[in-house]
């Protein structure tokens, strides 16, 4: 377990990763696949429980659990998730779980710690784009990630009644009305918005559209802007 640097979420106090192995979502913007992080053997190979991470987690902390990989991916065995949840339940902390596969939360809801925030990432509402020349739709999202399409995540998060949050990071061009409707359907306690900070050449929205989204979301939930969003909003380099 590590004290958080604040780069991911300034309100979290610690991060811990109980699950090792490669994340099979293979998002093109993943910071774990760049620089020195790519060389870490902990995040190579098949999914496995990292036994040494099952340490004393203390109390009264806000712990981002699974900050470097998606422990709720379909490739992670049930017994690994059960062991992680069992360990977390021993310590009186608030645990943030975040996944691009929130359908996987559903069978485990009764085994969660008492204080938990269930999060998902929704970078955009667009899964397809018009190919006017050929009069067809081109698959847009799977070029960026192999995770379930964003709308599938909305359906799953609608079912969940626990404390919820949504991360719109890295924000990818979107439709304001659709994204606003999706957030209403999920009904999160807060939405965190951030930009790509690793130069992944994603199709980003203009600042005016982001400002409009923030305005609409603020009418029914809290919005937390991450520092890397300033690059778009204030043209910071």
Scanning the structure block, which residue is given the tokens 């380099």?
A: 237
How do residues 162-187 score in pLDDT, each as one tens digit? 899 999 999 999 999 999 999 999 99
CATH number at residue 93: 3.20.20
Mean pLDDT of 193-221: 94
pTM for this entry = 0.90
Burial class (CB in 10 A: 0-12, 13-18, 19+), 157: buried
- Total domains present in the chain: 1
How sure is the predictor about 5, in pLDDT bands with cuts at 50, 70 and 90?
low
Measured between alpha carbons, how far is 54 from 35 in angstroms, rounded to an integer? Answer: 27
Q: What is the domain extent for residue 172?
A: 2-233
């Amino acid at each position: 377990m590590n004290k958080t640097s604040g780069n991911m979420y300034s309100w979290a106090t610690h991060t811990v990763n109980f699950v090792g192995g490669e994340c099979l979502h293979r998002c093109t913007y993943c910071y774990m696949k760049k620089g020195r992080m790519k060389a870490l053997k902990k995040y190579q190979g098949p999914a496995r429980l990292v036994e040494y991470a099952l340490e004393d987690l203390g109390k009264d902390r806000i712990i981002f659990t699974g900050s470097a990989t998606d422990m709720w991916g379909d490739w992670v065995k049930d017994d690994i998730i059960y062991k992680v949840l069992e360990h977390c339940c021993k310590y009186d902390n608030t645990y943030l779980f975040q996944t691009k596969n929130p359908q996987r939360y559903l069978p485990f809801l009764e085994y969660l710690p008492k204080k938990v925030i269930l999060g998902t990432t929704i970078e955009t509402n667009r899964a397809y784009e018009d190919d006017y020349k050929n009069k067809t739709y081109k698959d847009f999202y799977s070029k960026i990630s192999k995770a379930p399409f964003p709308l599938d995540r909305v359906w799953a998060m609608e079912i969940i009644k626990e404390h919820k949050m949504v991360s719109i990071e890295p924000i990818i061009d979107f439709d304001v009305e659709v994204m606003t409707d999706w957030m209403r359907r999920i009904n999160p306690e807060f939405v965190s918005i951030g930009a790509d900070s690793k130069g992944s050449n994603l199709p980003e929205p203009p600042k005016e559209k982001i400002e409009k989204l923030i305005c609409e979301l603020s009418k029914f939930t809290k919005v937390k802007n991450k520092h890397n969003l300033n690059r778009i909003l204030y043209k910071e380099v």
